[in-house]
Amino acid sequence: MSALNQIFHLQNYYLNPYSIPYFLVAILALIFGIFIQRLEKSASLDRSILYFYLSCIVWLIGSAMTVNSALASVAFFWSHVLFIGMILAAVALFHLSVTLTGQWAAQRYFIYVAYALAAGLVLFTGNPGFFDEMGEYFFGFFPRAGLSQAVLLFFIPLCFLLSLINVFKEYMRTADFSVKKRMRFFMFAFVVVALAFLDILAGYELLLFPLGHLAILAFVIAITCWKIKSYSTQSERRAKELEDEIAVKSEEINKIIEELRATQLKLLETGKVSALASLSAGILHQISQPITAIHGFVRFIKKEMPPDQPFYKPICLMEEQSVYLKEMLEDLMELIRHREIKKENIDVNSSIQRAVNLLTDELRIRRVDWDLILTEDLPQVHADAVHLQQVFMNIIINAIQAMSDLPRGSRRYLKVTSEFSKPKNQVMISFQDSGPGLSAEVQRQIFEPFFSTKTTGSGIGLALCKDLIAEHGGSIDIESEPGQGARFIIRLPCADSENVVNVGVQRV
């Protein structure tokens, strides 16, 4: 029977109980190696672990089949397989240490050389002087070492020492506690698996039974458990990072949703104002006709009435007020028609002064005391003077009407102030009245179109004011408590921060 036929002939083998541990450890190494590889297929460390496991499997299969062989010639073949696995395992251990410490770029050429030497040694196992003869022991066949096998006594310890040095250098180099802990674990694991290579001494009859499979089993179990724990920790960290990222994205989405809601509300409000403007334009057009007729009739009476008549002065006052009404209606018509805003750098104090001057008679008739406390040399604002004047007049008129509801004997007082807010680079205009104040519910709706606290009010004025101030890049707010009056605050951005100077206060 030829040697090849002997190797593959089942009658040349028997089930040796001493081979069972080798088979079991080989199966476990294969299962754990595939499991680790599937955890992270792209991880170079996992591939290095798999290479070492596969080399050990070759080693273990060779050992099991050697002791199962019934013929010395068959055992001789499997002894070659045993030592091939042992040589590859030594190189794979060095490869694992390089990958573990992240030294691939610096030591990849050493790995290539080590694998080349291993390939040469694999071929060298076929040298007649590699094995002396097959020894038969109580556990089965095991080859006695030849003279040329001594080269492994140099190669295998060298691979182990280089592996241990790599891990120890990384331990001394790093300051990270977790990395140090991992390096200590692998140094201990390498020392344990190094005991498996002592099987080679069985060929020199220094040991009765090769126990390398126990060291390999301990190494495989330890590394697999470490990898599972490491993967679990990484998964938890990644999950936490994903949770944090999801939280950040959720917050961003919520902000976007809030902005969309604000934009939607603004569009709805714009739609209300547009509808309001169309309705108001028609009303103002109808009002302007009788006002024009009254103005013409008053002018005619004034021309026909001698100056010494007792009603001449009231007629003159009526003419002035009709002119004011006519001009105001024209301005309102331009405002409601959304005429093009003609912005320019203006002095807010001048617009405030003009608005108060136009309403001076109304303030006196309603017996309202007022103060203008205007800060001098305010920075200019880029705005439409006519629009701002209309806004200021509307707020003053609202204050006058609110204070008209006060009981007889109550003081009716309006304070108008202007100041500069340097931190926000804004001009602030405040209208403080001594009226009955507003509830929180009313304050929330005060700028809504068609909302009014007066039975005769249309609820148009303040809505238009808010829209106009918004078109100027500003804001209008209200502060009030029932019984404490109300304060309207308008904030407008400055036209040019370079115009900011030291400001003083002027009482008018």
Six-digit token pair at 202? 């069985």
**CA angle (454 as vertex; 437, 447 as ends), nearest 5:** 70
Quote the CA–CA distance of 393 and 468 in Å, as a whole number: 13
**Residue 449: predicted pLDDT:** 64
The domain locations on the chain are 14-210, 343-507
pLDDT band of residue 167 (cuts 50, 70, 90) is: very high
pLDDT band of residue 156 (cuts 50, 70, 90) is: very high
Quote the CA–CA distance of 137 and 182 in Å, as a whole number: 41
262 or 502, which is more confident? 262
Fold annotation for 14-210: Rhopdopsin 7-helix transmembrane proteins (1.20.1070)
Six-digit token pair at 370? 């007022």
pLDDT band of residue 1 (cuts 50, 70, 90) is: very low
477 strand-pairing partners: 489
**At residue 280, does pLDDT exceed 80?**
no
Tens-digit pLDDT profile for residues 290-312? 777 777 777 777 777 777 777 77
**At residue 185, does pLDDT exceed 90?**
yes
**At residue 260, does pLDDT exceed 80?**
no
Q: Is the fold of 14-210 the same as that of 343-507?
A: no
Determine the average pLDDT of the residues in 408-435. 87
Determine the average pLDDT of the residues in 181-199. 91
**At residue 451, does pLDDT exceed 70?**
no
**Residue 279: predicted pLDDT:** 63
pLDDT band of residue 454 (cuts 50, 70, 90) is: low
Tens-digit pLDDT profile for residues 201-211? 888 877 556 67
Determine the average pLDDT of the residues in 38-59. 87
Of 339-343, 386-390, 456-460, which range is least confident?
456-460
Q: Per 3-state DSSP, what percentage of the chain is helix, strand, and coil (rounded to 5)?
A: 65, 10, 20
Highest mean pLDDT among 239-248, 264-273, 441-450 belongs to 239-248
Determine the average pLDDT of the residues in 20-47. 87
In residues, how long is the chain?
A: 508
**Residue 159: predicted pLDDT:** 93
Six-digit token pair at 167? 């891990």
Determine the average pLDDT of the residues in 82-98. 93
- The pair phi, psi for residue 359, each rounded to 5°, is -110, 15
95 or 448, which is more confident? 95
Quote the CA–CA distance of 431 and 414 in Å, as a whole number: 7
Single-letter residue type at 390: Q
- The pair phi, psi for residue 366, each rounded to 5°, is -85, 5
**At residue 330, does pLDDT exceed 80?**
no
Classify domain 343-507 by CATH architecture.
2-Layer Sandwich (3.30)
